Structure 1
Amino acid sequence: MASRHYLFPDNGEPVRVSLELLNGLISGRDALPQYAGTRQRVLGVIFDLEDGKPSRVAHTETGIWIFDEDGRISSGLQRAVALAMDSMPRPSRHSSTVVELHPRASERMFEKEFRWEAEKSDIDRVLADIWPKQKADRLGTIRGTKRKPPLSFDARHALNEISDAFWKIPLAIERLKEPSQKAFGYEARLRAESDPDFGPLYRAIADMSDWQLDVQKRRRTGKGVWYAVVEVMAWHDGVGEAVARYHQRCNSRKEAVLAARALLSEHAAKFDDDRTVEAMLLTEPEWEKQSSDDLGSS
């Protein structure tokens, strides 16, 4: 299952709230200054997935986000949670068969302050974004404003100087074979203990080595969870961009090979003079890393 959230401003079209922004707003890391000091309607849609695509709406739920003067919703969410907890029925102190009226009042207050009635046209507009039939059906995605301290010249220069040779680290680790990989990770952790000034750095490269060793073992044995992946690449002036991706989770490399062939056959019609359809096999750690990278760049 998966979910999407949409914000319904008083004027204009609804806008999609990305998962990254949603998490940032909930945690207080992100803000929407354009809505500071307002109450905004939100609609959440939970749907089933089939082959990575939405197949059926399982549930919809409305909510109201109360933005503070900085465009953050964390304090409003805290009040909503408190009201929701207070509205839960509990037995009366005087009788085990009598329910107190206070929770009912809290429930009415919660519904009035943090819920709204979505009309059929609101839900239909969101469904058109989930299953678009034309380009105009897709809704825009709103972006937040994270708290970011100003980056001074000294700080930027230090980061650039430090990271200048970062590319050498994964390259050196990837070249190691399994026995050397084990020794590398073990020695790096020993040095983290004996050289506390650089302990965090040694532990970081040891973690990178552990990750690479896990991938190497899975590629050698073919065991564990694998992913068959097919990407549709659009090419312009020699530069390719992934415009679609299809995947299937498999229980072994052999199973993933068959799944990749089936995905290639299913999507072969998407091949064109400026588009290629490419298949790849990823171990579970590689898939998780790639998915995390995609999320971070969205």
Structure 2
Amino acid sequence: MTSTQTRTWFITGASTGFGRLLAEELLKTGNKVVATARKIEQIADLEAQYPETAKALVLDVTNAAQVTSTVAAAIAHFGHIDVLVNNAGYGITGAVEEVTREEYEPVFETNLFGLTQVTQAVLPHLRERKSGHILNLSSIGGLVGLPGWGFYNATKFAVEGLSEALAVEMAPLGIHVTIVEPGPFRTDFLGRSGVVAKQRISDYDVTAGKTRDYRDENTGKQAGDPLRAVHAMMQVVDSPNPPVHLVLGAVALKRFRAKLEAFQAEMSAWESVTLGADFPEGE
């Protein structure tokens, strides 16, 4: 995989998964990378291997002051940021009734509010330069709600809405926004990175319970190739006409198409009720 031009990338959550692999592939192709993570020791080797083009910085995306200082440090080091990759995030498994507030609030803080803080910190810089690209890592879980993923779905559905609005706001300024929506890939999402609700209610065994079982049984067996996924992200940034939505993997595509078909059928079945909610024409 080669890039048509070199850029400076700012990546959150670069210690593992897509973030780590993307950083490695970019550095191999001569791009500059600001790799961030909560624990500097997990990304320090990138800077050691690529001292001229990699910068490792500590960043907890839920820490607003740290977000501001880290973005400033990145710009001071390389002079500018071309691409922001909001990758930091994790999942939580459990039925809506099973997950406690103490369990779901941190997921929102990272997946949604952390992403928002980092984006707002970088936007003034991109606006000043009138160029750039933002990749927001969502999920097929941001397009299709599934049992056992309700709170994760909620964070990613929110990222979808925020990103779609942001894409329209940025377009006149020459800045692209792409929402990346992977299906199941062989990262550590189902393993170390995820959280499972402590409470388990037997009434949900046939719905959310099956999701818990899937999570336990499918780590390392997912169909998606993470390397091909990060190459797709690089390809999108190279494109002169990048998509707002980038669905990745056959599983994700099948699930989203099934939702669209069901949505269309439901709207058609209830169209008279939908249209009947307006005032009669002329009133």
Q: Which has the higher strand share?
A: 1
Q: Rg bigger for which structure?
A: 1
Scaled by the length of structure 2, the TM-score of the pair is 0.20
The structure, 1 or 2, with the larger RCO (C-alpha pairs under 8 Å, 6+ apart) is 2
Scaled by the length of structure 1, the TM-score of the pair is 0.19
